[in-house]
C-alpha cells in the first residue's frame, strides 16, 4: 500500500513536470510569435517610409530630367545606405525609343539603360557641354554668345579677332556646330516624355526596380 502511494506521488510529480514544461513551451511560442509580428510590422513601416522617396516617380508623363533625378536618388541610396544597412539595391531601367529629334545622337541612342549607364551618359554629355563653355573666345565670350550672332556681326568679330578654336578667337563653324549638337541633345533628352511602366518590389515590400519607357 505504501509503495502504491509512493508510485502515485511520483506519477503525479512527473505529470505536473510535464504540464509545467508544456505550459512554458506554449508561453515561449506565444512570445516568439508576438516578437515575429512586431518585427514584421516594423519591416512594413520601414518599407512604406522607404518607398515614399520614390513613389512620386510612379506615374506617367515624366520628363527626362525627372527620370535622371530618380536615377540619382537611387544611385545615392545604393552608395550610402544599402550596403551599410544590409538592404537590397534599388535600380532604374530606362528605355529610349525615339531618335528622330537628333539623328546623330552621341549619348542617348535608342536602347535600354541601367542606373549606371543612364547617369554616365547624362554626366558625360554634361561634361562635354562644360568643356565648350569653359573656353573664353573673342572678347571674353563663351561659345553660346557666337551661336546667336547674325552673319554680319560674326564677320566683324572674325575680322577683328580671327577665326580659331582657341581662347581669344571666334570659334569656327565646325566648332559651333559641334557645340550646338551636344547642347540640342541635352535639351531634347530633358524634354523627352516617359511613363513608369513597371515597379518591382522585394519580399519585404521595398521598391527594388522601376522601369521608365519613353513614349513613342
Q: What is the pLDDT of residues 147-166, one digit of tens each?
A: 999 999 999 999 999 999 99
Those residues with Cβ within 8 angstroms of residue 81's Cβ, 6 or more apart along the chain or in another chain: 87
- d(Cα 67, Cα 62) in Å, to the nearest integer? 7
Q: What is the pLDDT of residue 99?
A: 72
Mean confidence (pLDDT) of the chain: 87
Task: DSSP for 5-57, please give it.
Answer: HHHHHHHHHHHHHHHHHHHHHHHHHHHHHHHHHHHHHHHHHHHHHHHTTTGGG
Q: Say what the pTM is.
A: 0.77
For 81-90, 108-117, 119-128, 182-191, which range has the lowest pLDDT when averaged over its residues? Answer: 81-90
Question: Is the CB of residue 185 less than 8 Å from the CB of residue 132?
Answer: no
Helices (H) and strands (E) in the chain, counts: 7, 5
96: nearest Cα among 10, 202, 177, 213:
213
Residue 34 in this model has a pLDDT that exceeds 50: no
- DSSP symbol at 86: T
In the chain, what are the domain boundaries? 1-52, 57-214
Amino acid at each position: 500500500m505504501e509503495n502504491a502511494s509512493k508510485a502515485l506521488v511520483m506519477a503525479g510529480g512527473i505529470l505536473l513536470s510535464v504540464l509545467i514544461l508544456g505550459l512554458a513551451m506554449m508561453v515561449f511560442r506565444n512570445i516568439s510569435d508576438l516578437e515575429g509580428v512586431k518585427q514584421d510590422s516594423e519591416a512594413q513601416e520601414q518599407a512604406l517610409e522607404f518607398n515614399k522617396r520614390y513613389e512620386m516617380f510612379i506615374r506617367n508623363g515624366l520628363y527626362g530630367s525627372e527620370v535622371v533625378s530618380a536615377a540619382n536618388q537611387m544611385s545615392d541610396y545604393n552608395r550610402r545606405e544599402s550596403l551599410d544597412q544590409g538592404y537590397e539595391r534599388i535600380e532604374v531601367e530606362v528605355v529610349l525609343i525615339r531618335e528622330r529629334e537628333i539623328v546623330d545622337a552621341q549619348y542617348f541612342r535608342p536602347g535600354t539603360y541601367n542606373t549606371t549607364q543612364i547617369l554616365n551618359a547624362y554626366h558625360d554629355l554634361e561634361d562635354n557641354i562644360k568643356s565648350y563653355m569653359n573656353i573664353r573666345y573673342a572678347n571674353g565670350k563663351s561659345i553660346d554668345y557666337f551661336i546667336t550672332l547674325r552673319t554680319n556681326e560674326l564677320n566683324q568679330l572674325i575680322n577683328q579677332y580671327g577665326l580659331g578654336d582657341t581662347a581669344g578667337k571666334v570659334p569656327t563653324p565646325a566648332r559651333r556646330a559641334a557645340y550646338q549638337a551636344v547642347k540640342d541633345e541635352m535639351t531634347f533628352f530633358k524634354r523627352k516624355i516617359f511613363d513608369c511602366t513597371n515597379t518591382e518590389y522585394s519580399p519585404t515590400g521595398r521598391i527594388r526596380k522601376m522601369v521608365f519607357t519613353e513614349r513613342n
